[in-house]
C-alpha cells in the first residue's frame, strides 16, 4: 500500500519487526486529511505487533494491532483542528478519533468512537 503521499514503510510496526497490515480505508482517511489541510501528514504509529503494543502501553484490543489505526501529526496544525475536521466529515460515524496534546489518533473501526 503506497500513494504519492504515503509509503508502506510508514505503516509498518515501529519496533522493526516488519509487521504490517494493509488497510485501504485508513489510507483513504489519511489521504483525505492530507487533501483537506494541504500539508504533510506524519504517521507516528500505525500497525503494531503485540509485543510493541504492550511496550508502548497500548490497549489490549488496540486497533493498531489489526492495522486499522494511525497516530498522526499534520504539519503546523493542532490535533484539535484535525479532530474537529474528522468529527464533522461525511464518514465521521465510521471512525474512532482521539485528540492528544501532540497527535491525533484515527481508526477505521466501522462505528463512531471519540476521546
Question: Cα–Cα distance between 18 and 46 in angstroms, integer?
Answer: 12
Per-residue pLDDT averaged across 70-83, rounded?
A: 98
pLDDT at res. 1: 64
Mean pLDDT calculated for residue range 42-57: 97
pLDDT of residue 8: 93
Cβ count near 81 (within 10 Å): 15
Closest CA to 42 of 88, 77, 80: 77
Say what the pLDDT of residue 59 is.
94
Instruction: Determine the 3-state secondary structure of 54 from DSSP.
Output: helix
How far apart CA 4 and CA 92 sit, in angstroms, is 24
Q: Over 90: is that where the pLDDT of 2 sits?
A: no
Q: Can you give the residue ranges of every domain in the chain?
A: 8-114
Report yes or no: 82 and 45 within 8 Å, Cβ to Cβ: no
Which numeric CATH code is attached to 8-114? 3.30.1380.10
User: For residue 20, is pLDDT > 90?
Assistant: yes
**pLDDT mean across residues, the chain:** 96
Give the pLDDT band of residue 33 (cuts 50, 70, 90): very high
pTM listed for this prediction: 0.94
Amino acid at each position: 500500500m503506497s500513494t504519492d503521499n504515503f509509503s508502506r514503510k510508514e505503516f509498518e510496526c515501529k519496533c522493526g519487526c516488519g509487521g504490517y497490515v494493509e488497510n485501504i480505508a485508513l489510507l483513504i482517511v489519511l489521504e483525505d486529511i492530507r487533501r483537506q489541510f494541504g500539508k504533510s501528514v506524519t504517521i507516528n504509529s500505525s500497525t503494531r505487533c503485540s509485543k510493541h503494543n504492550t511496550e508502548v502501553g497500548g490497549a489490549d484490543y488496540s486497533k493498531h494491532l489489526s492495522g486499522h489505526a494511525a497516530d498522526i501529526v499534520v504539519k503546523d496544525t493542532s490535533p484539535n483542528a484535525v479532530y474537529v475536521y474528522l468529527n464533522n466529515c461525511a464518514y465521521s460515524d465510521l471512525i474512532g478519533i482521539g485528540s492528544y496534546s501532540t497527535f491525533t489518533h484515527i481508526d477505521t473501526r466501522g462505528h463512531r468512537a471519540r476521546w
